[in-house]
Amino acid sequence: MSDGHGGTARRVVVTGLGPVSSIGTGVTDFLDGLRAGRSGARPMELFDTKGFEYSNGCEVADFDPTRWQREVAVGDVGRATQFALAAARLATADAGLSSADLAGARTLIAVGTTDGEAHELDRIVEHEVGRPVADSPETMARRVPVGTLSAAVAQEFGLSQAETITIATACAAGNYAIGYGLDAIRLGEADIALCGGADAVCRKTFAGFYRLGTIAPEVCQPFDVDRKGILTGEGGGILVLEALDSALARGARIHAEVLGYGLNCDAHHPVAPFQDRIADCVRLALSDAGVKPGEVDLISAHGTGTAANDVTESSAIRDVYGKEMPRTVSMKSMLGHSMGAASALGAIGCALAIEHGFIPPTINHKHTDPECAVDCVPNHSVTADLRVVQNNGLAFGGNNSVVILGRYES
């Protein structure tokens, strides 16, 4: 592949993974959760759910930011930023990179989110309506700006020269961040990229989806004929990307190679996905990766568990792959919909699936919707030899993002 300037683009690999999720934090626990088909669903406790008929979600239970934050004071940042910091600490440790290593490199930090610290906005509103909150509105307001999610990571590692960017394309944002990092490294503009996403559950998001009638009462059942909708979730996922020659030179473990990505925005409808443009986005990603549809072994779908998404997304996949659709799973059946973290956690799951030779299941599955007609690997993970995997992220407003990962082969 050309770098666009007459040179050859560098190959980019994943050398560090940092998952923080409702089914496990850190590579070992997260991998165990994916293999076991663990469910993160439980009654939500982070905000008052009085008045809602049902309120299951996928919170990161017992999350303790003091385990990860060494430089940024816990009270200075909100819950989503705390997830980003924990995920970045986990990913760099997994990659074997110190703060000094990052400071000595041209480091990029790209973090996706929905709208930053929405949980803090919830609490500011609570203060305005007279409910007691622990912090002052001024303190909470300082935590809100979306740029904090990436800037705080730079602060945590003492990186005064790093490029930081927060990308607010919500459910597609993690893949957007990975694509941004991929371009920066393969074009020689960065040496190390910490890419991913983070979001925290909040009443605003839950109530919005509840009003739309898309919250499931108990569990998330993607591609099932009896699905009821999504479960809102939270977490963070950061991947360390670097050039292949850099990884080989320092003897780093390579989880997977980032082969390519595609992005588009159809602006078709505020909330309804658009089949043709999703298919176009998949084609863009495959073209960028230099991969033919027949070479893809697995698709990690956006797979929210709503009829609008599941039918439209599976139809778009069929438009690209025809009758030979790869197995298509939804990790949201386990993780819930972690919004800005969703496609980052999906990408981490894809990298682990490639590295460890298995396919994560779609849990809570009973009867496949004939309008979807996918092999979603129901309820139990299976062993598989995976060379190329596709990770989908689709967001409100028609923001679509697809990342293609592959097994590293010299």
The residues annotated with a catalytic role in the active site are 171, 302, 337
Which residue has 């690209």 as its token pair?
320
Number of neighbours of residue 218 by Cβ within 10 angstroms? 11
Residues 323 and 374: beta-carbon distance below 8 Å: no
Beta bridge partners of 257: 13, 406
Please give the single-letter amino acid code of residue 310: D
> What is the β-pairing status of strands 235-243 and 358-359?
unpaired
How many Å separate Cα 312 from the centre of its chain?
A: 20
Phi and psi at residue 227, to the nearest 5° = -60, 150
Give the CA distances from residue 87 to residues 33, 240, 248, 265, 313, in Å, rounded to whole numbers and listed in that order. Answer: 17, 10, 24, 28, 29
| Dihedral, 327, 328, 331, 334 alpha carbons, nearest 10 | -80
**Helix H or strand E encompassing 395:** strand 388-395
368 DSSP β-pair partners: 224
Q: Where are the beta strands (DSSP E) in 24-91?
A: 24-25, 42-43, 56-57
Among 174, 186, 192, smallest CA distance to 241 is for 192
Question: 158 and 127 in contact (C-beta within 8 Å)?
Answer: no
Residues 6+ apart with CB under 8 A from 371: 311, 314, 315
Q: State the distance between the two ends of the chain, measured CA to CA, in whole angstroms.
A: 16
Q: Which residues contact 204 (CB under 8 A, 6 or more apart)?
A: 118, 121, 122
Token digits for 241? 């990307």
Closest listed residue to residue 364, CA positions, set 382, 353, 352, 377: 377
Q: Cite the DSSP H helix spans in 272-324.
A: 275-289, 307-321
DSSP code for 152: H
- The β-bridge partners of 223 are none
Name the pairing type of β-strands 107-112 and 163-167. Answer: parallel
